[in-house]
A and B are shown apart, each in its own frame.
Chain A
Amino acid sequence: MPEIVITGLGAVSPYGVGVAALWEGLLRGETAIAPLDLFDTSGHRTRIGGQVPEAPRGLERERDAAGRAERLSRTDRFAIDAAREALADAGFAQDAPELRRAGLFFGSSTGGMFEAERVLLADPTSALARRFSHVGGQVICAPAIALARDLALGGPVETVTSACSASTMALEAALMSLESGEVELAIAGGADALCELTYSGFNSLRAIDERPARPFRADREGLSIGEGSGMLVLETAAHARARGATVLAVLAGAGSSCDAYHMTAPHPEGKGAIQALERALGAADRGAVAFVNAHGTGTPHNDVAEAQALRAVLGERLADVAVTSTKGAVGHLLGACGALEAVVTVRGLVEGVVPQTPGDGPVDPEAGVALVLGAPARPAPCAAALSTNLAFGGANAALHLRAAGTEGA
């Protein structure tokens, strides 16, 4: 089986555009979750979220073959910005011939729903409410199409829409295609924008905290929804070596599973999460895992179930493994969260640094994890990490990442 490596990272997050903005924001330890102004929240139960501060580069227009104007949604722009950054980071020009054969494995939960809502939430008697041409382009896979078009990608293109595990599973799909020899180069990740559908929906489940999410804290009361994109360039190690690329990390394994337990609640003992983690780790040495970038939503049920799963897989060693949750800083990016968290995890392996989880208050003793608090942790050695996601519908996914230059089991 060929080794699959990561050679480029890109991100758009509530800290701004770019991996540097994300990383610096995380290391500052200040949450980016704040009052939203993307849409009117006055009628909603809560008011806050992780909104990308800079407007995506306009709603660029182009003409499709039938002469209709095509709009790029916020999600499209997030994905394109992050993917361009990832490709540049990997040393590819935007018109690199390798892209003609590259695959795109993309995760999204709602695609261009924010833009579709402008029509579908409009007064039914208004002219805007009849502009269905603004709706038809905003399907779930629209961002992947826009991205594939932008980068002229000619290989497989696939949108995984498995809720909060979507982009982690997109990375798993990329791994499968790279390992099988279908492609040598893949761009994988995800994007989602805030929209009223998910904001009101999670509020209807009373899953959103009125304060910024506090993953694994004893007083946590729910998640914060965010938006953005994480994109990664993956390639076979041979392909990366042949072009002299710098390897950032190794995608050593990916696993997924389903709880088959409840549509919105995780299995209380983390049964499915355990399977996903075990599949991601395979025969690898559990003792090499230096940190975990947890799904850590901040909901009472998720964090305890996830901690149980981590304990089942890592054993009592979990007490010594640094655990962080990016969602405490930027919110829950839904279909994009796994990819953004993978970007953070890779950066952590490169730097040997694990960002802290913002907020205060004691860690929930029932979770019992070594949450990184106050300042970044610097585990030594920092050879391997896990990144987990536990989604709606019971879909779980996990990634096993190793630092560049380390040997597998």
Chain B
Amino acid sequence: MSVVVTGLGVVGGFGAGEDALRAVLASGAPVTASIEDAGLALDGHSPRSQRASVVPKDALRPWLAPGKARRMSPASRLAVAGSVQAIEAAGLASEDVAGPETAVSLGTYFGSTSYTYKLLAQLRETGALSVSPLLFMETVANAHAGQIALMLGLEGPNYTISQREASGALAVARGVDLVRSGRAQRVIAGAADEASPIQHVVLDAYGALARPGAEGVQAARAFGREPTGVLLSEGAALWVLEDEAAARGRGANVRARVLALVRANDATATQTDWGDGAEHLGASLRARLEALDTPLDSIDRIVAGAAGARRGDALELRTLQAAFGDTPLPPLAAPKAATGAYGGGELGAALLALEGADWAPGLWFRAGSDGWAEPVQEAPRGPAERVLVSAVAAGGAACWIVLERADD
């Protein structure tokens, strides 16, 4: 069974909707705010990272009424708004999707850290009897997927997947499996993550976030020889996945076909860092694509998860080099330098890369002669035939998705 992508919903620090994503990819410069303006400052803490990319106030309003948002955590709001947007973009009405044939498969890195922190603060400061049931409800990691289902009446399987940076790609892969196995006719699949003060402080303490350099400018540069750390962000990226026959039957605008999925693990990784298993991951990717009759030389672009992580970017590059071997590595994009590191930044961008959206050259790389990636002078132009979406997570999990154009 063939599975296609018919809708995209995106929300991020750049705004909401495809046009906003196109704009930030074209500029190559993330939309950031100081942590104070972003609402990420935490009393008593002085993190070294000073800027983040958070969703602008009121950006979700076209897809989520304030009255309905009131009882949701920030992460649930992002997930629901992105899903409603994706359904609309797929040309589906709410009555089309309600019922048992539509599933949800949502990835989240952390769940709602803001509500978890607030609940623990209640517990610490005013005691267990003061804990709010509303807060608790939204601390549960599948609350966001549950809210999507509740909002849209989706009675199909409802998956929430959390595997660090691979959460979104794995959720898409699980969504594809749900359609292929006949468990659903369509799936809203992707990722949603909020940024919160505690998350900012913890990631900063780990040295995971980009910090201001000597010149006082904070920038996350992917694939750098001197890693910068990542730009903390929040957002959502949701695809509508459908059985191709059903999608074509309703005259949907088919934007991409999911040609292949590959999942593997680097068991050398620890719970908090990337490992050094590029050879194993690369061999797994290569072998699976061969088994799925998807030649590496048929892939003409890669959209990577690289975001400036100290060891993650290097492992991802080495993995791709190991997989491609003697096959030239196609142009390699790192959209998270513009979208920020969380909330499925690579998923929305991958669809636009396939369709040939204009990107700033600073987001594209090629294999350099010294084994590292180097920026290109000019971004690839025009649509691609096949795009490899790459997600290599701290902790070892990796997931790759091959998208191909599905023009009639």
Residues of A within 8 A of B (CB): 43-45, 62, 64-66, 68, 70, 100, 103-104, 109, 117, 120-121, 124, 132-133, 135-137, 139-142, 144-146, 148-149, 151-163, 166, 169, 172-173, 176-177, 179-180, 182, 196-197, 199-205, 255-264, 271-272, 275, 279, 391-395
Contact = CB atoms under 8 A, between A and B. Distances in A.
Q: Is the interface of B mostly helix, strand, loop or mixed?
A: mixed
A394 B149 contact: yes
Contacts of A166: 142
A146 B269 CA distance: 9
Interface stretch (B54-62, B124-132, B328-336): B124-132
Contact of A64 (B129, B137, B272): B272
B319 interface: no
Contact of A121 (B104, B111, B124, B269): B124
Given A43-B127, A70-B271, A258 B284 contact: no
Interface in B193-229: 198, 201-203, 205-206
Contacts of A177: 177
A205 B137 CA distance: 9
A200 B150 contact: no
B22 interface: no
B128 A109 contact: no
Q: Which residue among A62, A182, A200 has the maximum number of chain B CB atoms within 10 Å of its CB?
A: A200
B376 to A, nearest CB: 30
Q: Is the interface of A mostly helix, strand, loop or mixed?
A: mixed
Nearest to B261: A182
B273 A392 contact: no
Interface stretch (B81-89, B159-167, B237-245, B351-359): B159-167
Contacts of B201: 132
Interface string B90-104: 000000001010011
Contacts of A196: 120, 123, 128
A156 B155 contact: no
Contacts of A272: 155
A201 B143 contact: no
B337 interface: no
Interface in B138-195: 139-143, 145-147, 149-150, 152-164, 170, 174, 177-178, 180-181, 183
Contacts of B272: 64, 68, 70, 136-137
A65 B273 contact: yes
A45 B67 CA distance: 32
A132 B142 contact: no
B110 A148 contact: no
B260 to A, nearest CB: 11
B180 A161 contact: no
27 contacts: A43-B127, A132-B201, A132-B205, A136-B202, A137-B272, A141-B163, A141-B397, A146-B271, A153-B265, A154-B267, A156-B264, A156-B399, A157-B397, A161-B142, A161-B161, A169-B157, A173-B177, A196-B123, A200-B128, A200-B131, A201-B131, A203-B128, A256-B159, A258-B157, A263-B150, A275-B100, A392-B143
B160 A141 contact: no
Given A136-B272, A145-B270, A158 B154 contact: no
Contacts of B154: 258, 260
B313 interface: no
Given A140-B111, A176-B181, A263-B146, A393 B140 contact: yes
B266 to A, nearest CB: 8
A65 B276 contact: yes
Contacts of B111: 140, 161
Contacts of A120: 117, 120, 124, 198
Given A141-B163, A149-B270, A260-B153, A155 B120 contact: no
B155 A160 contact: no
A368 B396 CA distance: 48
Contacts of A279: 183
A66 B270 CA distance: 10
Contact of A163 (B140, B203, B263): B140
B380 interface: no
A78 B407 CA distance: 50
Contacts of A392: 137, 140, 142-143, 146
B70 to A, nearest CB: 14
A73 to B, nearest CB: 9
